């Protein structure tokens, strides 16, 4: 088979698999790619070496497909990953008014716009401009993280304290959610320190060290809340058209591209954080722009971060996908870069074409089966995956993560605070104080 055909087939298969997997709530594409990397390495140790033209486009397709279609469970099953924090509420609003199909499709259009943005805007410009930005920013990444942490903690809006006479009771009512957010951030940060310095996960599976914690922090709480929720999903209307126009798309690309791009370029910042910052900076009010820009942001974050690993002359690794492929391959030339750009474009087109049938399929599923059973099934699959990769220790870590992840859900604070698991220890390390904190905690 010619090289080009190999790449096209690989990316299409990868996209197809990921689009189906992305409908499973809580299952992160990086978990699946982790398994894939394991498979490639195992094959390699048995003398079967796969060429990069097979597994790189395959992985690119998986990431593009997942980042575009993962909106579907976000809207219909309410089990978002950490970068879909904002998609949840507006998406659920659409769902509760019977317009879940439209909500999912608007976000999907955002994903498609994100692919255009990546391939046509970022693709040609990145090799020329990003190395300059990286060169200037390299010694400053640590304080960017600290400044973002400060903003996340300072900018949360007090959810209570809106009624009643002035005084301490009103103050404490307001601060309950803020304190819960702060507690979430600190507990997640402590968990991060433990996992970074003394992870109980077997060293043989260390490349998935953080996975059980992420599952616990983000996926399990939503599955649990869905399972105990008393809400029934109303009948869904499949719309023939979408309430969007060119203006909405452009503004969404602007906001989402900024947020996703920022998150993709800076280490440890995730799509959720990028979305928060871009949402604030661009002062979005239109829910359609909000929904669509989250679609753009999510795609630009996941796919863009993966793409950056291939930008010639840049030499940075961002996002779980890029870190995972580092163990398999080191991109070096424009050959790799153009291959990935092509894979992203093809994968994006294929994923968008899968959007409508899969959305209809999910609508059929939730009409036929109880919303709670779907979430319960998803929970079982995720936990089985955690067990398969990291064993009982991973289940224990996921349980602890679940406890922390439930705090913001049940106390109405930002789930973004769970990102303390990465932000706090890595910001400390980058500023050179991480080992002092670890020593204080008796971890070293």
Partner 1 sequence: MKGISHFISGVAAASFCPWAVQAAQEGNPLYFILGGAFGLLPDTLDFKFYRFFYRHEMYVDPDPENPDPQAIADALADAVRRAGEEGRRVRIKLNTIRLGADFWRQYVVKFDPDAGEVLVRFGPVVNTGQVPVPGTGGDERVGRAKLAFPVVQTYDATTSVDIFDGPTFAFTRDESGRVVIHFLPWHREWSHSFVIGALFALAGWALWSWKAAVVIMAGYSIHVLEDQLGFMGSNLFFPFSRRRFPGIHLMRSGDALPNFTTVWTSCLLIFWNLYRQGPPSIYNFSFLQLLVYGAVLPLGLFAAAIYFVRRLSGGGEESEEIDLSDEWGDPKMS
Partner 2 sequence: MRVVAMNAESLPGQQEYREQIICPSCGRFVGPLTRCPYCGARIRKRLSVRLFRYLALLLATVGLFFLYLMATHREVPRIRVGDIRPTMNFAYVRVAGLVSSDARIYREGDAVRSLRFTVDDGSGEIPVTAYRAQARELVASGRVPRMGDKVEVAGSLSVAADDRVMMRLQSPDQLILTRAELPLMPLGSVSTNDVGRSIMVKGVISDIRAPRPNSRAPWLIRVSDSSGEKGISFWDDTYAEIADKDRLVPGAAVRARVSVGTFRGRVQLRLASGRDLEFLQGEEAAAVSAGVRPEGRYERTPISALKPSMVGREVEVSGRVLDVRPPREGSRAPWRVVLEEDGAQVMVVYWDKVARHLRAKRPEKGAYLVVRGRLAVYRGRLQLKVSNSRDIELTRAPQHAPDAGSGGGGILPIAKITPEMKGRIVRVRGILGQARSIPGGVVYQLKDDSGEIKVVLWDRFVSGEARDALDTGRRVRVSGKVSEYHGQLEIVPQGAYQVVVEDGGE
The site for partner 2 (CB under 8 A) is made up of 37-38, 41, 96-98, 160, 162-164, 173, 187, 190-191, 194, 196-200, 203-207, 209-210, 224, 228, 230-232, 234, 323, 326-330, 396-397, 399-400, 402-404, 406-407, 409-412, 429, 431-435, 438-439, 441-444
254 binds partner 1 (CB under 8 A): yes
The least distance separating partner 1 from the CB of residue 171, rounded to whole angstroms, comes to: 4
Among 122, 156, 199, 351, binds partner 1 (CB under 8 A): 156
The least distance separating partner 1 from the CB of residue 407, rounded to whole angstroms, comes to: 16
232 binds partner 1 (CB under 8 A): no
CB atoms within 10 A of CB 60: 31
Per DSSP, the three-state class of 213 is helix
The least distance separating partner 2 from the CB of residue 234, rounded to whole angstroms, comes to: 6
Classify the C-alpha dihedral 258-260-261-267 as positive or negative: positive
Residue with tokens 């604070």: 413
| 3-state percent helix, strand, coil for the chain, nearest multiple of 5 | 80, 0, 20
Q: Binders of partner 1 among 276-295, rule CB under 8 A?
A: 276-277, 279-285, 287, 290
Tokens of 389: 């990769």
Classify the C-alpha dihedral 215-262-10-315 as positive or negative: negative
Residue with tokens 């990291």: 390
Cβ burial, residue 401 (10 Å; 0-12/13-18/19+)? buried
Cβ atoms of 80 and 214 within 8 Å: the answer is no
229 binds partner 1 (CB under 8 A): no
118 binds partner 1 (CB under 8 A): no
183 binds partner 1 (CB under 8 A): no
Torsion of CA 161, 167, 172, 175, to 10 degrees: 60
Q: How far apart are CA 310 and CA 322, in angstroms?
A: 9
142 binds partner 1 (CB under 8 A): yes
State the residues that interact with partner 1 by CB under 8 A: 85-86, 89-90, 93, 97, 129, 131-133, 135-137, 139-140, 142-143, 146-147, 150-151, 154-158, 161-163, 165-167, 170-171, 174-175, 178, 245-247, 250-251, 254, 276-277, 279-285, 287, 290, 414, 427, 430-432
């Amino acid at each position: 088979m010619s090289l080009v055909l190999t790449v096209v087939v690989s990316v299409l298969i990868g996209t197809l698999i990921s689009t189906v997997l992305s409908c499973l709530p809580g299952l992160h594409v990086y978990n699946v790619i982790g398994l894939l990397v394991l498979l490639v390495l195992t094959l390699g140790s048995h003398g079967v070496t796969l060429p990069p033209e097979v597994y790189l486009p395959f992985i690119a397709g998986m990431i593009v497909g997942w980042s575009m279609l993962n909106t579907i469970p976000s809207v219909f099953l309410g089990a978002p990953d950490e970068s879909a924090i904002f998609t949840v509420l507006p998406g659920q609003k659409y769902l509760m008014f019977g317009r879940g199909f439209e909500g999912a499709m608007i976000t999907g259009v955002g994903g498609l716009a994100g692919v255009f943005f990546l391939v046509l805007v970022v693709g040609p410009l990145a090799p020329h401009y990003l190395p300059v930005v990286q060169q200037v920013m390299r010694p400053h990444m640590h304080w960017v993280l600290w400044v973002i942490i400060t903003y996340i903690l300072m900018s949360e809006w007090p959810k209570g304290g809106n009624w009643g006479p002035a005084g301490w009771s009103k103050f404490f009512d307001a601060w309950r959610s803020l304190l819960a957010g702060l507690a979430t951030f600190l507990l997640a940060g402590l968990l991060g320190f433990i996992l970074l310095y003394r992870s109980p996960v077997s060293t043989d599976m260390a490349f998935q060290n953080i996975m059980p914690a992420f599952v616990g922090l983000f996926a399990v709480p939503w599955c649990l809340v869905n399972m105990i929720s008393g809400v029934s999903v109303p009948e869904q209307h499949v719309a023939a058209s979408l309430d969007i126009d060119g203006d909405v798309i452009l503004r969404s690309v602007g906001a989402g591209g900024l947020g996703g791009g920022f998150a993709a370029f800076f280490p440890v910042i995730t799509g959720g954080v990028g979305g928060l910052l871009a949402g604030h900076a661009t002062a979005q009010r239109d829910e359609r722009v909000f929904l669509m820009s989250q679609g753009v942001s999510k795609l630009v974050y996941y796919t863009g971060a993966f793409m950056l690993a291939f930008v010639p002359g840049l030499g940075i690794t961002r996002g779980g996908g890029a870190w995972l492929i580092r163990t398999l391959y080191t991109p070096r030339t424009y050959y790799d870069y153009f291959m990935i750009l092509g894979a992203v474009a093809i994968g994006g087109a294929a994923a968008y074409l899968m959007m409508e049938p899969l959305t209809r399929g999910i609508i059929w599923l939730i009409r036929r089966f109880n919303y709670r059973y779907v979430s319960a099934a998803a929970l079982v699959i995720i936990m089985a995956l955690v067990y398969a990769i990291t064993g009982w220790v991973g289940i224990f870590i996921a349980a602890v993560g679940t406890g922390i992840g439930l705090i913001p859900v049940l106390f109405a604070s930002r789930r973004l605070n769970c990102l303390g698991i990465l932000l706090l220890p890595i910001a400390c390390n980058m500023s050179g104080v991480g080992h002092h904190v670890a020593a204080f905690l008796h971890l070293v």
